[in-house]
Structure 1
Amino acid sequence: MVDFLKIADLSWPVLKPVFRGHVAVYRATGGRIGRRIPGTPPMLLLDHVGAKSGAKRTSPLVYMPVGEDFVIVAAKGGYPGNPDWLYNLRAHPDVDAQIGARRVQVHARELDAEERSQLWPAAAEYNSQWRRYQRRTDRTIPLVVLEPQSG
């Protein structure tokens, strides 16, 4: 059996430009291409600001809808450390997300331990990769809810 996670571990230098291309195609097509990749849940584009640099960043992320909100998972493929975007959201929680053609201003809120324990089973069921990533790491993978802001 091919371990795609081990292949991805070795592929990070190649993946960065692939992600940039994914973002460009997603934006150019209003999410018609790139929002759904066969075999995966839908993806959004998260526009955020670097915690230290202040530079604008965009991350394509799988999300789980929960009511009007969107839950994203700071899995980073089960790596020992959190993804950079999590630190950026902690520093600057008011960001923009693009879901398909729709752009939404959202407030990012990291779930506390109790909220996470209640939502994690649904997240792991929704996307079995998140469950695999949790098994690969000793850290508790954070969950972040993106709450749409009115106005």
Structure 2
Amino acid sequence: MDFNQQIIDTFRANAGEVNEPIQFGKSLVLVHVPKKDGSIRVAPLAAIQEDGAWHIVGSAGGSPKHPAWVYGLRRTEQVDIEVPGEPVTTLQAKVEELTGDERDALWARFKEFSSGFADYEKTAEGRVFPIFRLVG
């Protein structure tokens, strides 16, 4: 089974809590990202909830290139997101890419959330990871 699909299935079956194959707890959202061809890709993404919004980062595991879903979010103003809860809830969310000090503050929060994010800076060849606010 595809790794992302395994996470998506676990998320949906367990009220948004994912502890296998990786320990995420309830810190994921499923983002329905529109692709260029009009289809939708569901991406399970680590998220920080703050001020009534979910924040996600395009880290791509520290790759020097943005993940494909970043471009899909940049082309749209609104997406559906599935958020943890009993049951999992689907919301329409406004998409906003963060910049400047606001982006930097959230990036610091992601590095506090998981040391893996700090490690990604070492392999990203200077790429700045985009951070998006999803407000439902």
**TM-score of the alignment, normalized to the shorter chain, above 0.5:** yes
- Aligned with 1:61 (options 29, 45, 56): 45
Distance (Å, rounded) in 2 between the aligned partners of 1:35 and 1:120: 23
**1:48 matches 2:33:** yes
Report if aligned partners of 1:44, 1:61 keep a CA contact under 8 Å in 2.
yes
- Aligned with 2:120 (options 133, 141, 147): 133
TM-score computed with the length of structure 2 as normaliser: 0.84
- The offset of 1:24, in angstroms, is 3.1
Counterpart residue type for residue 20 of structure 1: Q
Task: Give 1:107's aligned residue.
Answer: 94
Distance (Å, rounded) in 1 between the aligned partners of 2:112 and 2:105: 13
Q: From the CA coordinates, give the structure whose radius of gyration is larger.
A: 1
Ranges in structure 2 where 5+ consecutive residues have no aligned partner: none
Question: Which runs of 4 or more aligned residues in structure 1 lie more than 6 Å from their structure 2 counterparts after TM superposition?
Answer: none
- The offset of 1:21, in angstroms, is 2.9
Task: Give 2:107's aligned residue.
Answer: 120
Between the aligned residues of both structures, percent identity stands at: 26
Report if aligned partners of 2:30, 2:43 keep a CA contact under 8 Å in 1.
yes
- The offset of 1:54, in angstroms, is 1.3
Report if aligned partners of 1:108, 1:147 keep a CA contact under 8 Å in 2.
yes
Counterpart residue type for residue 107 of structure 2: W
RMSD: 1.8
Distance (Å, rounded) in 2 between the aligned partners of 1:99 and 1:147: 12
- The offset of 1:35, in angstroms, is 2.7
Counterpart residue type for residue 66 of structure 2: N
Task: Give 2:74's aligned residue.
Answer: 90
Per-residue deviation, residues 92-134 of structure 1 (Å, max 9, x unmatched)? 1300111121211101111112321232222211222211112
TM-score computed with the length of structure 1 as normaliser: 0.77
**1:142 matches 2:130:** yes
Q: 1:21 to 1:36 in 2, by over 3 A?
A: closer
